[in-house]
Structure 1
Amino acid sequence: MDQLVEIRPSAVAVERHRVAVICSYTISLANFRLKLLKAMVDNGHEVVAFGPERHGPTIAALSEIGVDFVPVPMARAGLNPLQDARTLVALWARLRKTAPDVVLCYTMKPIIYGLIAARLAGIEDRHALVTGLGYLFSEDARGMRLSAMRALATRLYRVALGGDGRVFVYNEADSQDMRAGRMVEDLSRIVPVPGSGVDFDHFPSVSVPAGDPVFLLVARLLRNKGIAEFADAAGRLRARHPNARFQILGRFDPGPLAVARRDIDRWVAEGAIEYLGETDDVRPFLAASTVFVLPSYYREGIPRSILEAMATGRAVVTADTPGCRDTVIDGENGFIVPPRDPDALAVAMERFIEDPLLSWQMGRRSLEIARARFDVEAVNRLLLKEMGLLAPAA
């Protein structure tokens, strides 16, 4: 993955496939997978994208690159048997109608129900992109109910991942859990992939701004993203370094692990943090930041937010958890701290306040690592090659 490559349409003939890509969040097709979908089209394939929401801008962006959109009912979270049965039947019916010969599913619900539906529809070439096993497989998922849900999810994965297709994983922890749960019988089918990659044209490097340090956290407002720990550390540092700024950017989440608005309001009132709201374009906020912070203990794949910060040329402080630790060489492009430890987090962030050159030095190293390991063109080329969708070189 160290050698960067560009995916170009080939002049050499390649077998044309009809490919279905199934997701649980329609907007992700444009925000996270547009380059992959375009690479499929550029390599001579007909592509259909399945998603639950009819999101106009996303559908328009897909249409521009020649990808059709098919809506399918799907709840992003939870295990509701009636809802999930409806999703399975709907996927089966739409796959029968669109008749793809290759299916790629990403995130939990599409992988489980999309691949089962594809098998029932007689589609043999089925692949899964495991972007992170999620909360059920994290250390926080304790108790009888969550243990039972995890066991059920493991059995469903085992059924869904049958066959000969590739199972792409973002980090070694997910790979180990899949082996331990016997989700994949033939271990040679598990293929490591360095995340979703980052588009350096869309996220160009920007010099670290001069002036007071700005620490930026970008995430959905979930407790296990380390939001409270960040606010705690920020409050301590503000008392010693009143000119330092600590910003949170992200949308509120309706789930049970959500950070309450009253907590955000309290931290703002106390002067610990600035809440920036939510945005469709993080680039101006990354450009205005000094250091990127994500102390997450959510079961990440490889956080895209960190990759975008690295492409911008920012040092990173993150937690020693699956996915997060895969982005940082401790002491080179940032610091890795224990999860749920605001003391260690404060110590790591304070090093940038006390040594202003550190953010510039580590930010430059972040960009080098991102270019070597996480270029979206190289990632997409690997995916297409493993799925047999890459046109031979001219």
Structure 2
Amino acid sequence: MSTIERNNSTENQRVAIVGTLANTMLGFRGELIRDLVASGHTVFAFAIDYTPATEQEIRAMGATPVSYRMGQLSTNPLSDIKAMLQLYRLFKQRGITLSYCYFSKPAIYGTLAAKLAGVPMRIAKIEGLGRVFTQHPDGDKFKKRILRRIMAALFRISLPHAHKVLVLNEGDKQDLQSFSTKMPEPTVLGGIGVCLKRYPFRPPVTAPVRFIFVGRLLPEKGVRYFVEAAKALKTRYPDTEFILVGAPDNKPGAINKAELDQLVCEQVVTWPGPVEDVAPWLARSSVFVLPTYYREGVPRSTQEALAMGRPVITTRMPGCRKTVREGANGYLIEPHDQAGLERAMLEFIRNPDLIPAMGVESYRLAKERFDVRKINQSIMKTIGVNVAPIASENEMPDPANDWHAKVQTSVK
């Protein structure tokens, strides 16, 4: 019997989920951990920055937290090799039978470590190619071009040792296949999914029209295009509001705290400061805007906005296209198209009646494509582990239908 056949059996697995930050493990991988545990698997959650509090949260999910060392942005090969060897030892010590390594560096070095440790089933998940593969409008510096070649070489070395490669969009699949013809054909998942109970539908606000940006305040995420649109439109439509939700950053080109304070002082944007829960801010918004040119997987922030019933304006980047049905739940623009962004926002300012119907379409799209319960079941079947019956959140009552029917009746 082959390795994959053994792991497609009904035996419970000892699963290593290997990521980077503990908060990401909790926020974006929490539902998968719970579903694996509910299906009878033993789960070890690997992160680089556990605190006693985050360790306790992982244990409350039924998993075991495991700390290891890996520099997120390090380009030191010796440091990365040390991280790989540490993961090798940890996999051996815990008798791991399935490794599930997500994000680029864990996928590269975690997969190689799992191969060395003889882990029977090795999964590499690439959730967007990230900053190294993001092309800037002014061209890329020499150092970045070199880093891109190094990352491509590392993918070429590591991914052939994975039994399954998972990606979130077709663009990443094509790029990875261009790096290596020997790796397994990537499976396109379409998103990591969102808990529809955690981000429930809420009727969008239409008076005043409020645009919201949620994400890191980095130039690649398009935050400066959002701010420039706010400046231009606020002078003509002073009642329109623009909300920035995200932490300031001191990286070159990012929006720092001093600039944020100035924008707030000038009443260009509302900035609530760092928030742990974005749901209340999405609930008080009208339209979600993400003019990104970053090499996203499928932005989790957009999935959350869809689930809560917000029309979306975003770009035709590989990770964003599937979050918008043009004209039905929002608008797609080209990356770096400032005029196109402002035209799309003007459509909602001048025609606020578009917002309710488009919000309902967003919610329906979230139920169809981004229900985390359905996606987790798909992942678990793809990687060959037994799955306990888990009710899809599509079985919940649909609040959007009743609300939309009332809106249509009142309009008539």
TM-score bracket for this pair, using the shorter chain length: over 0.9
Q: Which amino acid aligns with 1:167?
A: V
Deviation at 1:186, TM superposition (A): 4.3
Q: Which runs of 5+ in 2 are unaligned?
A: 1-8, 391-412
More off after superposition, 230-239 vs 262-271: 262-271
Given that 1:217 and 1:293 are in contact with CA atoms closer than 8 Å, whether structure 2 keeps it comes out as yes
SS at match of 1:32: helix
Deviation at 1:201, TM superposition (A): 0.8
TM-score normalised by the chain length of structure 1: 0.92
Cα distance in 2, alignment partners of residues 159 and 254 from structure 1: 34
Cα distance in 2, alignment partners of residues 264 and 354 from structure 1: 27
Aligned to 1:6: none
Cα 1:210–1:392, aligned 2, differ >3 Å: closer, same or farther?
Answer: closer
Given that 1:14 and 1:44 are in contact with CA atoms closer than 8 Å, whether structure 2 keeps it comes out as no
From 171, 174, 177, the equivalent of 2:175 is 177
From 237, 244, 269, the equivalent of 1:241 is 237
Q: Which amino acid aligns with 2:170?
A: E
Aligned to 2:5: none
Whether 1:151 aligns to 2:149 is: yes
Aligned to 1:118: 114
Please list the CA deviations of residues 97-147 of structure 1 after superposition, one character each: whole Å capped at 9, or x if unmatched: 112010000001111111111111121310011111111112227232111
Cα distance in 1, alignment partners of residues 141 and 313 from structure 2: 31
Aligned to 1:61: 57
Aligned to 1:8: none
Aligned to 2:387: 391
Cα distance in 2, alignment partners of residues 225 and 386 from structure 1: 31
Aligned to 2:409: none
SS at match of 1:162: helix
Whether 1:211 aligns to 2:207 is: yes
Cα 1:125–1:256, aligned 2, differ >3 Å: closer, same or farther?
Answer: farther
Cα 1:228–1:164, aligned 2, differ >3 Å: closer, same or farther?
Answer: closer
Q: Which amino acid aligns with 1:235?
A: K
Deviation at 1:164, TM superposition (A): 5.0
SS at match of 1:377: helix
Cα distance in 1, alignment partners of residues 74 and 169 from structure 2: 24
Given that 1:27 and 1:55 are in contact with CA atoms closer than 8 Å, whether structure 2 keeps it comes out as no
Cα distance in 2, alignment partners of residues 230 and 152 from structure 1: 33
Given that 1:169 and 1:191 are in contact with CA atoms closer than 8 Å, whether structure 2 keeps it comes out as yes
Whether 1:138 aligns to 2:134 is: yes
Given that 1:29 and 1:58 are in contact with CA atoms closer than 8 Å, whether structure 2 keeps it comes out as no
Aligned to 1:305: 301
Given that 2:12 and 2:386 are in contact with CA atoms closer than 8 Å, whether structure 1 keeps it comes out as no
Whether 1:319 aligns to 2:334 is: no
Please list the CA deviations of residues 52-82 of structure 1 after superposition, one character each: whole Å capped at 9, or x if unmatched: 0113333222212210011001112231223
Given that 2:206 and 2:353 are in contact with CA atoms closer than 8 Å, whether structure 1 keeps it comes out as no
Deviation at 1:293, TM superposition (A): 0.6
Aligned to 1:71: 67
From 170, 173, 191, the equivalent of 1:195 is 191
Cα 1:258–1:106, aligned 2, differ >3 Å: closer, same or farther?
Answer: same
Given that 1:14 and 1:392 are in contact with CA atoms closer than 8 Å, whether structure 2 keeps it comes out as no
Deviation at 1:393, TM superposition (A): 6.5
Deviation at 1:368, TM superposition (A): 0.7
TM-score normalised by the chain length of structure 2: 0.88
Given that 1:381 and 1:390 are in contact with CA atoms closer than 8 Å, whether structure 2 keeps it comes out as no
Spell out the pairing of 1:1-394 with structure 2 (5 A cutoff): 14-140=10-136, 142-163=140-161, 165-182=163-180, 185-188=182-185, 190-256=186-252, 258-391=254-387
Cα distance in 1, alignment partners of residues 87 and 183 from structure 2: 26
Deviation at 1:303, TM superposition (A): 0.3
Please list the CA deviations of residues 262-296 of structure 1 after superposition, one character each: whole Å capped at 9, or x if unmatched: 33233333332122211110010000001111101
Aligned to 2:405: none
Given that 2:112 and 2:161 are in contact with CA atoms closer than 8 Å, whether structure 1 keeps it comes out as no
Cα distance in 1, alignment partners of residues 63 and 312 from structure 2: 35
Q: Which amino acid aligns with 1:382?
A: S
Cα distance in 2, alignment partners of residues 316 and 326 from structure 1: 11
SS at match of 1:275: coil
Instruction: State the structure with bigger RCO (CA 8 A, min sep 6), 1 or 2.
Output: 1
Q: Which amino acid aligns with 2:182?
A: E
Cα distance in 2, alignment partners of residues 208 and 364 from structure 1: 9
Cα distance in 1, alignment partners of residues 364 and 375 from structure 2: 16
Deviation at 1:30, TM superposition (A): 1.1
Q: Which amino acid aligns with 1:145?
A: K
Q: Which runs of 5+ in 1 are unaligned?
A: 1-12
Given that 1:91 and 1:117 are in contact with CA atoms closer than 8 Å, whether structure 2 keeps it comes out as yes
Please list the CA deviations of residues 283-339 of structure 1 after superposition, one character each: whole Å capped at 9, or x if unmatched: 100000011111011110000000000000000111121211221111110011111
More off after superposition, 70-79 vs 222-231: 70-79
SS at match of 2:244: strand
SS at match of 2:35: helix
Deviation at 1:390, TM superposition (A): 2.6
Given that 1:104 and 1:129 are in contact with CA atoms closer than 8 Å, whether structure 2 keeps it comes out as yes
Given that 1:235 and 1:271 are in contact with CA atoms closer than 8 Å, whether structure 2 keeps it comes out as no
Please list the CA deviations of residues 157-185 of structure 1 after superposition, one character each: whole Å capped at 9, or x if unmatched: 12221235111110111011111111x52
Deviation at 1:257, TM superposition (A): 5.0
Q: Which amino acid aligns with 1:185?
A: K
Q: Which amino acid aligns with 2:69?
A: P
Cα distance in 1, alignment partners of residues 260 and 316 from structure 2: 25
Aligned to 2:403: none
More off after superposition, 252-261 vs 342-351: 252-261
